[in-house]
Structure 1
């Protein structure tokens, strides 16, 4: 899965070791943040592989499975950056179905999805129970909003320039490859609003330059790059 290089392997291994060592007697909660096209999902999947190779079970989830219905997401206007930042996700459901159950004092019964934004319909996913020593890895945008900050035992912010992230998304079939295209204003300006109001790179445990997927680079925080 993904790109295998010595540098990428070292960065992922370091993040996994930090997460695994954070707590040994309860679920460790890890957030993987970054703009659309930053490589969060692949990074999260590869991180889960590393965590399991270190002997702890991983629970994978994405904030994209906790969208609000379309009429809520777009009620400020289909092109609204404010709407993108403020209305995209159902954080109450994210907390109730996933984060609270896997937090200290939670009962360990969780769901990783409640809504399918493509069909604009709720998802009837069954509840599962996490092992007590699991590592929860959640990828998604806006993970360092104030209402989520207290949940992460460890978090990574993948820094990628819009000139790189927007074309990446377009290659996957999402929108125009030009960051300045009018259709991208909602997303680019919505992310800039997030940066201004929430300062995710200041709150993340580690900030990783992921412009080059094969050669990620630690910008700030732990773990050190060992290759």
Structure 2
């Protein structure tokens, strides 16, 4: 794999311009994927702001607001890495409330949050509209390879050493889930943009030619 250094601002510009260039008359659905220490939510927020500055209506959704109830997430224990991978995300709710309304023939009316995991109850959020031509920006971890219909995806990657260094000790039990994700889904090779963020101030973009030759 070959990564080319890129500034955070230029990376944001490249992703933004790609989304706008390929946007159609309906909705564009963008996923920003990465383990929590890679801060996918922060990048998704910056991307949403950049798209708005370019005149695009945007809705932000975080998969942390679409987790399943604690009784289901923790059925196999609170620190089971396979449960983290398979059982935490309410994939059905996310598809039903967010992706289907922004698919062909959809209404454009989405639910921005579904479940408050901390309080372990429904958020009771109100539905919001995203007009045709708008962009949905979703952030989260372990997002790719689940059949979510992203039109563009960004994967923020940490090397194993950087991930172990930046992951809080209390969350070290989740490492096997992240390693399983990388070995089975291979997000570095399936994302439209794969970015190494060992040093957030100095990201590096995976070279497309090195991917095609791997």
TM-score normalised by structure 2 residue count: 0.89
Q: 1:111 Cα deviation (Å)?
A: 0.8
SS where residue 30 of structure 1 aligns?
A: strand
Corresponding position of 2:176:
189
Using the TM superposition, name which of 84-93 and 209-218 deviates more.
Answer: 209-218
Aligned to 1:156: 154
Residue of structure 2 equivalent to 1:111: 111
Q: Distance in 2 between matches of 1:95 and 1:166?
A: 32
Distance 1:24 1:89, change over 3 A: same
Q: Distance in 1 between matches of 2:116 and 2:131?
A: 26
Q: Spell out the pairing of 1:59-70 with structure 2 (5 A cutoff).
A: 59-70=59-70
Match for residue 216 of structure 1?
A: 203
**Superposed CA RMSD:** 1.8
Alignment of 1:4-23 (within 5 A): 7-23=7-23
**Deviations along 1:120-149, whole A, 9 cap, x unmatched?**
11110001110111111100011102332x
**3-state SS of 1:21 partner:** helix
CA distance 1:221–1:31, change in 2 (3 Å): farther
Matches within 5 A, 1:1-227: 7-148=7-148, 151-165=149-163, 167-168=165-166, 170=168, 176=169, 183-221=170-208
The runs of 5 or more residues in structure 2 that have no matched partner are: 1-5, 210-214
Q: Give the TM-score, by structure 1 length.
A: 0.84
Residues 34, 155 of structure 2: 8 Å contact kept: yes
* Alpha carbons of structure 1 residues 195 and 23: separation in structure 2 relative to 1, 3 Å: same
Change (3 A) 1:114 1:206: same
Structure 2 distance, partners of 1:145, 1:119, is 29
Q: Quick one: distance in 1 between partners of 2:88 and 2:135? A: 26
Distance in 2 between the 1:29 and 1:14 partners? 17
Could you tell me whether the CA contact under 8 Å between 2:164 and 2:172 is conserved in 1?
Answer: no
